Amino acid sequence: MRTQSLSGVTLQTLKNYRTAATQAVVAYRLGSHRVVDMVNGALQNNVYPRTAKVAPRATDRLDEVRGNVSEIVVKGIDVVAERTEQVIDFGATTAAEQVHKVAAFAAGIENETVAQGLQTAARLTMPGAQVALAVSGKLAEGAHALADAAGARKVRKAVRKAVAGAKRQGAATRRKAAPMARQVEATVKTAKRRVTRVAKAVEAEVAKTPRRARAAKKAIAEAATA
């Protein structure tokens, strides 16, 4: 039980560190984009209008080069962030798998002496693990705050707004489609009733055919006898 509790604390600590690292990458990515945007805005709004009066061609050329450089810088930032996130995910997943393996190994030990030794080690290690968990939680909170300061909160709001808009649009579409669906359903029911009536009429005609054949044969026989 102690070993399982220790593994649970360790896994939560790993999760917090993973969150902190991921949010730090988010802050780096958004913050770097903001810096690039600020530099571009300063050049376009404050520098180029002045230089364009003196050297318009050179200003146009500088603006073109600036755009190319900005694009390269932004792509580099995104690549670094994506690769860093991949490394974080891989490292956290690998560490969690190792914790699960150790916990499963410890739980499967049948030797009572060894099992008691592991429980004792878990009890001695637990206070330090809980401290590490608390520290990792604070780091995760700080990383979230840093990412929000860099603009992550605005991104989340935009995503939530887009999702809510899509849900409202879907609900409106369903409301508009409801009358048409009811009309189609009524049309299908009417068609079914008509098909049923036609089928019954055909069955009745088929049932009459043998009687008509027997009546014709009888009339022919009577005519021949007469």
pLDDT at 226 over 80: no
Q: Which residues contact 110 (CB under 8 A, 6 or more apart)?
A: none
Which amino acid makes up residue 164?
A
pLDDT of residue 148: 81
pLDDT in tens, 94-121: 988 888 888 777 777 766 776 677 677 7
pLDDT at 205 over 60: no
Is it the case that residue 160 has pLDDT exceeding 70? no
Average pLDDT of the chain? 76
Q: Which two tokens stand for residue 195?
A: 């098909």
State the CB neighbour count (10 A cutoff) for residue 28: 17
- Select the highest-mean-pLDDT range: 60-64, 80-84, 100-104, 207-211: 80-84
Tell me whether residue 155 is exposed, middle or buried, using C-beta atoms within 10 angstroms of its C-beta: 0 to 12, 13 to 18, 19 or more: middle
Instruction: Give the closest residue to 122 by CA, choosing from 110, 107, 141.
Output: 107
Task: Name the range with the highest mean pLDDT among 111-115, 144-148, 201-205.
Answer: 144-148
Predicted pLDDT at 3 = 46
Residue 183 in tokens? 């009309």
User: What is the residue-wise DSSP string for 55-97?
Assistant: -HHHHHHHHHHHHHHHHHHHHHHHHHHHHHHHHHHHHHHHHHH
**Arithmetic mean of pLDDT, 157-181:** 62
Name the residue ranges covered by the structural domains of the chain. Answer: 2-150
3-state secondary structure of 8: helix
Helix (H) or strand (E) holding 23: helix 2-42
Q: Which pTM was predicted?
A: 0.58
Cα–Cα distance for residue pair 113/106, rounded to 1 Å = 12
